[in-house]
Structure 1
Amino acid sequence: MSTPTGAETVVKQYVDDLTLALAQLETGAMTDVLETLVLALRAGDRVFVAGNGGSSTAAIHIASDLTAASDRLSSAPQAVALTENIARVTAIANDFSYDEIFSRQLVGWGRPRDVVLLLSVSGHSTNLVRAANTGRELGMTVLAALGNAGEIARLADRSVIFGQADYGLTEDLHVALGHMAVRVLRGGDACRYTDGRTR
């Protein structure tokens, strides 16, 4: 029975679109991005994650998961979302420019061999382009997970394009990328809820 709102039709279409996006995922490109993230964390290098809008919260989600999943590493991991400190972000935006909210943080913290992972649907966000350029200048490895190639893909050392430039699909897959990285860090093991665990 169809609903008056048309929600059932939308749900079915979204599931079909997401299924297609997953089927079209460039697994080789995704593997390159994931291996780079994991190798950096295992080597004790830092991983910075950045994005705008929904991708800003995906950045926090990914950084949090990478930190929590790396309890098997010999050294404490350093995965940081450049969006997690709203006071710092708004101070930079107010005192300088929104275009510099990520690049200025990288100038202060980034070092050679560190990694910056940029999340974008358009592939053209000016603040992410600047972050990519700054990362390259600092000798960092620049990774990108994008809905559309854009200028960011040209600047990245490794990139993966997914979601057909659809905001919902691309942002869903940003989070999926983070969860895949967690499995790689855990040696391929799934992280399932069991009694007694709060997460």
Structure 2
Amino acid sequence: MRDPGAEPTSVSAAAEAVVKGYVDDLTLALAQLEAGAMADVLEALVLALSEGRRVLVAGNGGSSTAAIHIASDLMAASTAFDGAPQAVALTENIARITAIANDYSYDEIFSRQLPGWARPGDVLLLLSVSARSANLVRAATVGRDLGMTVLAALGDPGELASLADRYVIFGQADYGLTEDLHVALGHMAVRVLSGGDACRYRAAVDG
């Protein structure tokens, strides 16, 4: 921890400026979040799980790990539902992804997984900053053909907004802010599944 009385270095001064700027940008992104659109996406996720449907999640780069995070949280939070609901990230099996990319095309790494997982009425949640990734656009098209409900959480409308049944745009197309809010979407879904209550660490609540 830096001595508060010490003269700031050029690096620490720059870092502090970035921290403040980032917090300001994230605060603005949250203030600009369209609550109704977010609620529509969350409603579709929760209804699908409550009906025993599958929720399949996909994204590239940082959004690929957000997909795993969201799927894991949704599974943990939906155990009270009957019908064995499932939330699966299409990014979690590296062997499958690289096999599809090698044998076919990187553009098909998600779409080629869908016929094996998806049933009519299942949900496909796509996470993207640009909303233009070819593999996500193809997944949305195939998902619609399979009778899935396509949801999208985007930094920019791109091509995916027109292919989605419901979508929300947030983060001002800044990859960091949008990816932060991807994870926040998952955590909001967990709160809805938990009846609106905060999910606090037990020891912190007990003191």
TM-score range, shorter chain: over 0.9
What are the superposed Cα offsets for residues 82-122 of structure 1, whole Å, 9 maximum, x if unpaired?
Answer: 00000000000000000000000002221110000000000
TM-score (norm 1): 0.96
- In the alignment, structure 1 residue 137 sits paired with structure 2 residue 151: no
Residue 48 (1) aligns with residue 56 (2): yes
Structure 1 consecutive aligned stretches of length 4 or more whose deviation exceeds 3 Å: none
How do 1:15-164 and structure 2 match up within 5 A? 15-164=23-172
Query: Match of 1:150, SS?
Result: coil
Q: d(CA) in 2 for partners of 1:116 and 1:188? A: 23
How far has the Cα of 1:41 moved from its partner?
A: 0.2
The structure 2 residue matched to 1:171, chosen from 179, 185, 188, is 179
Residue identity matched to 2:151: L
Name stretches of at least 5 consecutive residues in structure 2 with no aligned partner.
Answer: 1-6
Which of residues 9, 15, 39 in structure 1 aligns to 2:17?
9
Q: CA deviation at 1:196?
A: 10
Aligned AA (1:69):
A
Letter in 2 for 1:139: G
Structure 1 distance, partners of 2:51, 2:188, is 19
Distance 1:175 1:196 in 2: 22
State the TM-score, normalizing by the size of structure 2: 0.93
- Say whether the 8 Å CA contact 2:130–2:156 is kept in structure 1: yes
Secondary structure at the aligned position of 2:112 is classed as helix
SS in structure 2 at match of 1:103: coil
- 8 Å contact 2:51–2:85 — kept in the other structure? no
Total equivalences in the alignment: 197
Aligned 8 A contact 1:119 1:144 in 2? yes
Offset, 1:75: 3.2
Distance 2:78 2:174 in 1: 31
User: What amino acid maps onto 1:192 in structure 2?
Assistant: R
- Percent sequence identity is 79
Secondary structure class of the residue paired with 1:179: helix
Highest CA radius of gyration, 1 or 2? 2
The Cα of 1:152 is off from its aligned counterpart by 0.5
Contact 1:2 1:8 in 2 (8 A): no
Which position in structure 1 is the counterpart of 2:3? Answer: none
What is the aligned-residue RMSD (CA, Å)?
1.4
Shifted more, 63-72 versus 39-48: the winner is: 63-72
The 1:141–1:127 alpha-carbon spacing in structure 2 relative to 1, beyond 3 Å, is same
The residue matched to 2:83 in structure 1 has which SS?
Answer: coil
